[in-house]
Amino acid sequence: MIAVYDSKWFMRVVEIAKRRGTLFTYYYTSESVPYGSVVYTDYKPIVEELKERTDILLILDQQKSCKAFEYAILASMFSNEYRNVVVGIDPGHTLSYVVLGDDNLILYGDGDLDSFKQDFNYVLNCVPHVEIRVKVGTGYRCAEVIEYIKRDYASIPVELVDETSTTPSSSRLDEVLYLARRLRGVKPFRHKDIYAAYRIALSRGIEVI
Give the per-residue pLDDT at 171: 43
Please give the average per-residue pLDDT across 41-45, as a whole number: 94
* 87, β-bridge pairs: 99, 134
Give dist(CA 182, CA 103) in Å, integer. Answer: 9
CA of 15: how far to CAs of 4, 41, 95, 114, in Å? 13, 15, 22, 20
94-99's contacts with Cβ under 8 Å and 24+ in sequence apart are 94/193, 95/141, 95/145, 96/191, 96/193, 96/194, 96/196, 96/197, 97/197, 98/183, 98/194, 98/197, 98/198, 98/201, 99/123, 99/201
Q: Tell me the pLDDT band of 168, cut-offs 50, 70 and 90.
A: very low
The percentage of residues in the chain with a pLDDT greater than 90, rounded to a whole number, is: 65
Residue type, 72: A
Q: Tell me the pLDDT band of 22, cut-offs 50, 70 and 90.
A: confident
Range of weakest confidence among 17-31, 43-57, 139-153, 156-170: 156-170
pLDDT at 160 over 80: yes
* CATH class of the region 82-207: alpha beta
The mean predicted confidence, pLDDT, of the chain is: 87
